[in-house]
Structure 1
Amino acid sequence: MAGDYLDHKLECPFCGVIRLNIPADAKPTTAIRCAECGKYLGTWDELQTDFEQQGGTDGVFRLDNGRIRKLDSSR
């Protein structure tokens, strides 16, 4: 099971925050940038895959319409 914090591609290696600038019409090849510093983080497909590998679909976080939400740990 994933830990309490996300890491890898979702966390910006330049400024350390997890704030993604995701266009509403993002496609798998859309370039995603950090909303804080503007640096390139990867494609939308790469970021979604990384999130899923960290337990995003059944862990403590959920990715929904480009927003990351922490789930209640009692679920």
Structure 2
Amino acid sequence: MAPKYLDHRLECPYCLTIRLRIPDDARPDTPIFCDDCGKYLGTWDEIQTDFEKQGGQNGVFRLDKGRIQRIR
């Protein structure tokens, strides 16, 4: 069963929101920060890997151009 909520690196451990600040030209080693509180969340590669682990494109969410969208 696909997870209903995203967590781990996608959820900010400081403010508990899922709002990522992702530059248009993000590379695998680009640092990603929470868009609400500005805290470091991990590299773009780590964020994408975590997203895939949680169901990724086949789960209940889709990551498109840095935005996470619920699809179910």
TM-score normalised per structure 1: 0.92
State the 1:18 CA deviation. Answer: 0.3
| Structure with more helix by fraction | 2
Question: One-letter code of the match for 1:59?
Answer: G
Match of residue 36 from structure 2? 36
Aligned residue type for 1:51: F
Q: CA RMSD in A?
A: 0.7
Structure 1 residue runs of 4+, over 3 Å off? Answer: none
**Structure with the greater alpha carbon radius of gyration:** 1
How many residues align? The count is 72
Q: Which amino acid aligns with 1:45?
A: D
- Shift of residue 56 of structure 1? 1.4
Matched, 1:53 2:53: yes
TM-score, normalising length: structure 2 = 0.96
Segments of 5+ residues of structure 2 without an aligned counterpart are none
Provide the secondary structure at the position in 2 that maps to 1:42.
Answer: strand
